[in-house]
Structure 1
């Protein structure tokens, strides 16, 4: 599948820059913003937009992840365990995509997002909080990665949107460690997903390269800004981003049910 219109490098660079900033700031892949932008403004088909987004986020995840790591805000063991789960889960998700009715799953995920949006205003993690990795939490981290990978494949949502709040609320991580660990986890997930998408011709590599380079320039800035924002305001901003994702999913689901 090829893209008929070649979007301008300037437009792609601007989109990539915005994605990189959000990626560094919130520890997310940025696909939740990038995919609808590519579809609405640049005329990409949904599948091509998703595949291009997965490839584009790789440089930003690497550079942003390094930004968090330099400041000591990455739990490497947790990131490795999550990555092991997400790489397998992403393959399962893409396999199930054409076989599972995603309607109920989508509504359940939207309820989960709503719960996260509300709780972000009331549960503020401590900045010095860390993940206590034991045999049980290790197994739960792999399971979290697995479920995240499956949901990403089935619903087209980025892993960071799920992993960051889960690490904060269920594993006791600080907001910064949750974001840094999430970005590192996204690296192998992006590589795995891009190989699969390239094989199915669901990625525009030229656009992904421009988006990715632009994103990687601003991603470290986002990670630095994140350390300067108090945890409560960081949560408030993240909740608004998730509310945007929730609204977008709700709109798409309701519009789809009317057809």
Structure 2
């Protein structure tokens, strides 16, 4: 039963993460904490173990979906490497901060973070890009299968600073960071949506390597759970990438943000009440 539940968690996280560029950790961490604390399905896990184990899964989710997106030539790997210059160190610092959180404080902070992310997903479609692309900094063009050409770009320092914050949240909460990076790429840097999601998954793969390495050194990985989660996450990431390239993800985002609000409120309640 334990293995089946972990496979389902991995599959759900991989599919949703690759579909909308979240990475899947925002599903894995609350699921591990819930099943480990309030059911007898799996053994109890600490916030540190949930985060460390989640980041191991993010490596495989990010790699699987990146390979799928590369076939469609939607990964801007040069921009992804620049972003990684910020997200990599941010992830290591986040992993270090994480070790000071107990279950109550982690639930409160993570719950608030999830609610904020769900609100961001709510208003994202109503926001307009901040400004036109300037000639300075990194500049890219992309032509989609329909023949539409997009011009986008960013200042290297700005991109690295934004990615640092994303990496910090990734190492702290065990998430991929795409929940913040994708909107930033679309609204601030004018990335085409499909390129933003694909490039986000590439950055998640890279930053998860450094963040998970930090958590491994701290002994925060349950390898049994990780090995059970990886197959589902790998298959789910392929499935999510496939759906992303063929369907509008608006319906999934609506469903996801409702679930995230409920999860966030529940985590805050658990942290405040200790129950």
TM-score under structure 2 normalisation?
Answer: 0.77
* 2:45 counterpart residue number: 44
* 1:132 counterpart residue number: 152
Give 1:249 shift. 2.5
Structure with the larger strand share: 2
Distance 1:104 1:32, change over 3 A: closer
Task: Give, in whole Å, the separation in 1 of the partners of 2:224 and 2:64.
Answer: 20
**How do 1:227-242 residues align onto structure 2 when only pairs under 5 Å count?**
227-230=245-248, 234-242=249-257
* 2:29 counterpart residue number: 35
**8 A contact 2:118–2:261 mirrored in 1:** yes
SS at match of 1:122: coil
Task: Give, in whole Å, the separation in 2 of the partners of 1:191 and 1:12.
Answer: 21
SS at match of 1:173: coil
Which whole-Å deviations, capped at 9, do the CAs of 1:20-61 have from their partners, x for residues lacking one? Answer: 211221122211111121222233222211111110121221
* 1:193 counterpart residue number: 211
RMSD, aligned CA: 3.0
* 1:65 counterpart residue number: 66
Distance 1:157 1:190, change over 3 A: closer
Distance 1:157 1:9, change over 3 A: closer
Give 1:9 shift. 2.8
- Provide the aligned length of Structure 1 versus Structure 2: 247
Structure with the larger helix share: 1
Matched, 1:174 2:192: yes
SS at match of 2:152: coil
**8 A contact 1:130–1:177 mirrored in 2:** no
Which whole-Å deviations, capped at 9, do the CAs of 1:73-130 have from their partners, x for residues lacking one? Answer: 111122111111111111222334439x999977985675355233234358996565
Matched, 1:120 2:124: yes
Matched, 1:23 2:17: yes
**8 A contact 1:168–1:174 mirrored in 2:** yes
Task: Give, in whole Å, the separation in 2 of the partners of 1:155 and 1:120.
Answer: 22
TM-score under structure 1 normalisation?
Answer: 0.82
